Amino acid sequence: MEAFIVSARKYRPQHFNTVVGQTHITNTLKNAIAHKQLAQAYLFCGPRGIGKTTCARIFAKTINCFNITSEGEACDKCESCSSFNEGASLNVYELDAASNNSVEDIRNLVDQVRFAPQLGEYKVYVIDEVHMLSNAAFNAFLKTLEEPPKHAKFILATTEKHKIIPTILSRCQVFNFNRIKNEDIAKHLAFIAKNENITFEPEALHVIAQKADGALRDALSIFDQMVAFTGNHLSYKAIVENLHVLDFDYYFKITDFLLDQKLAEVMLTFDDILKKGFDAHNFINGLGEHLRNVLVSRDPQTVQLLEISDNLKPKYAEQALKCPQTFILKCLALISKTDVNYKSAKNPRLLVEMSLMQMAYMNASGNGAEKKNELAENPFQTATAVMAVNTTVSTPVPTNTIKALHTEEKIVKTAEKPIVPFSELKIKAQFSLKEVVKANMPSVNQTIATENKEVVFENKAFDGETLMKAIHAFALIKNEAGNRQLFTTITTAKIEISDTNVVTLNIFNEAQKEILVSVKQDFLDFVRKELNNNTIGLDIRIEAAEESAAKAYKPSDKFKLLAEKNPSLLELKKRLGLELDY
C-alpha cells in the first residue's frame, strides 16, 4: 500500500507567498530579509494550526538561500534550499519545549549555539510551545537570547503568550498571528480539492471552515476525513451529516416561524432537532449566530462581515427584509441570557423552550402600546393609580400621604373639585410634592429633549413654584418611562430649597436614597435646563424615624419607678433579702 501523506503535511507552504491569511507577518519578514535587518530573536504568538512553525521554517530556509529572489523568497535551487527541502539541513534545530523544559535541556541548546553553520550563513533554533519552559530554564536562556553569536537566530513559538515572563518578551520581536478567515480556508481547500481531482460543493467547504474555527491545520484534517467518508465528491448534505452540524435550513425555518408567531411549529422543529441527536446548547448558540448574520445582512456596509458561502447570502438578505431590527436585538439578548444560564439549569430543555416561547411572541407587543396610549389620555388617573400601587409594595409611607391618595381617588371619581393651576398654588419654604400631585397633574406626554450642542445657562432667578413644576415634570417623565418607584419616591419626599440653590430631598430609608442617587445627574441636568440655572445642586437626606411613645419597661424599671414614689419599698427589699427577677 502506498504511503499516504496527510494534506497538512503534503501542502505545507514552502514560501512566504503561499502562507494563508498571514500577509502582515510574511510581508514584514520578507522586508527584513531584503534589507538585512534580522533580529536575534522572534516570538510567534497565536492559536494552533495557523502557520507559526511553518513561517519559522520558511524564514530559516530563506535567510540561508544563496540566491534570494527580488520578492524576498528562497530560490529552491541552491544547495542550501535543496538540503532543506529534503529534510537534511543542519541549519535548523527544532526543540519541543513541552517535553524538554528543564534547565539541562536549555544548557544543551546553549552549548550547540557556539558552533557555526556548515552550510549557509545562519543557524536557526526553533523552540515550539516555549511557554512550557520552567522559570529556571527561562532564566538560564536569558543571556544567550539577548546576546547570541552572530550566526544564531532564535524563533520562539507559543499559543499562550501571557505565560512567558516579561524578560523574554523584551528580548524578542513579537509577531501576533491571526485566526484565518473562513473564506480564506475555503479557498485553500478548493485549491487542494482541484489538485486532488475531488469535486465539491462550495457550501460543504464553508462548513468545514466553520468547524475548524480559524485553524487551517484542523480544516485540512477534517477535509481528509470527509474525503475518506464521501469518496471524491464533497456534498453539503454528507458533510453536515458526518460532522453533526445543524443544517442552515432549520434556522431559516425557525426564524420564519418566530416571525409568524407559530409556536407549535417552533416547538415541533426543536423537538425534531433533539431527536436527531443535536445538543440544545449548540442549537441555541447556532440560532444566535444565524440571527447575527441576518442582522448584518440588513445593511450593505456590514454584509462583508458574513463568513458564509455566496450561495447563502441571498437567503440571508431575503430573511433580513422580513425581520425588524428590534426583534433581532431582543432575541439576541434573550439567547445570550439563555447561554449564560444553560449550564446551571436543572432542566436545560425547558430553559431553551421558554426562550423560544418568548421569542415567538416578541412582536406581539402592540396591545401594550395601545394600552399605554389609553392611559396617557388621562394622566392624572394614571399617576394616582401608580402612586397607590407603589405605596403598597414599597417602603412605609406616612399616614398623611395615604390620606392624600384617598382624597385624590375621590377627585378622580367625582370630579367635583376643580383642578388648581400651578400659577395659583402657594409655595412655602418647605413643601411636599404630594400636595401638588393632589392639586394638579400635567400631561405625561412631555419628553426630555436631548441635544448634542452645549447648553449655555443664564443662571436666572427662580421661585419655589417654578422649581416645583420642574421637579414634578421630571417625576412624570420617569413614570411614563416605566420607573414608577422613582415617581413614588419623588412625590412622597419633603423638598426644601436653600439660599444657595441646593434642593434637599428628605426621604424615609436607604432604598429610596439609592434610587435617587442613581438618577441624580439626570435630575440635575433636567432641572437646570428647565430653570436655565446651572447653580442648582441636590442633597439627599434620610429623615429620622419618630420614636414610638409607648415603651416596654423591664421589671427593674418598674421597681425603680415605684421606689421613687415610695422609698419604703427599698427598706422592705433589704430586710427580706428579696431579689428582682430580671
- Give 113-148 pLDDT, tens digit per residue: 888 887 778 888 998 888 888 888 888 888 888 888
pLDDT band at 454 (very low <50, low <70, confident <90, very high): low
Mean pLDDT computed over every residue of the chain: 78
Calculate Rg over the CA atoms of the chain.
39
7-176, CATH topology level: Rossmann fold (3.40.50)
Give the pLDDT confidence of 328-384 residue by residue, as tens digits. 999 999 999 999 999 888 998 999 999 999 998 887 654 444 444 444 444 434 334
Q: If pLDDT is split at 50, 70 and 90, which confidence band does 428 have?
A: very low
List the domain boundaries for the chain: 7-176, 182-243, 248-360, 374-542, 548-582
Instruction: Please enumerate, as own/partner, the contacts of 540-543 that have beta carbons within 8 Å and a separation of 24 or more.
Output: 540/504, 540/505, 540/507, 540/513, 540/516, 541/504, 541/505, 541/506, 541/507, 542/506, 542/507, 542/508, 542/509, 542/510, 542/512, 542/513, 543/494, 543/506, 543/507, 543/508
pLDDT band with cut points at 50, 70 and 90 for residue 525: confident
Q: Residue 438: how many CB atoms within 10 A of its CB?
A: 19
pLDDT, tens digit, 9 for 90 and up, residues 31-41: 888 888 888 89
Q: 579 falls in which pLDDT band (50, 70, 90)? A: confident
Weakest-pLDDT range from 51-55, 322-326, 403-407: 403-407
Residue 445 has pLDDT above 50, yes or no: no
Confidence grade of residue 397 (pLDDT, cut at 50, 70, 90) = very low
| Sequence-ordered list of residues with C-beta below 8 angstroms from that of 227, at least 6 positions apart, any chain | 196, 198, 234
* All cell numbers assigned to 97: 519545549
CA distances from 441 to 251, 259, 347, 430, 477 (A): 50, 40, 49, 20, 12
Question: How confident is the model over 471-476, as a mean pLDDT?
Answer: 86
10 grid coordinates: 503534503
- Pairing verdict, β 537-542 and 502-507: parallel
Phi, psi dihedral angles at 532 (to 5 degrees): 55, 45
Separation between Cα atoms, residue 363 and residue 94, nearest integer Å: 60
Task: Find out whether 438 and 414 touch, Cβ atoms under 8 Å.
Answer: no
- The lowest-confidence range among 134-138, 406-410, 473-477, 512-516 is 406-410
Question: pTM, whole model, 2 decimals?
Answer: 0.55
Other CB atoms within 10 A of residue 407 CB: 11
What phi and psi values does residue 495 have, to the nearest 5 degrees? -115, 135
CATH class of the 248-360 domain in this structure = mainly alpha
Residue 440 CA to residue 408 CA, distance in Å, equals 10
Mean pLDDT to the nearest integer, 255-263: 89
DSSP secondary structure, 20-54, as one string = SS-HHHHHHHHHHHHTT---SEEEEE-STTSSHHH
CA pair distance 366, 194, nearest whole angstrom: 55
**Residues 473, 417: Cα–Cα separation, whole Å:** 22
Name, in order, each residue with C-beta under 8 angstroms of 15's C-beta and a sequence gap of 6 or more: 58, 73, 74, 76
Inter-residue contact 386 to 487 (CB < 8 Å): yes
The domain defined by 182-243 carries CATH number 3.40.50.720: no
Look at residues 359, 365, 212 and name the one whose alpha carbon lies nearest to residue 284: 359
What would the grid cell of residue 540 be? 439627599
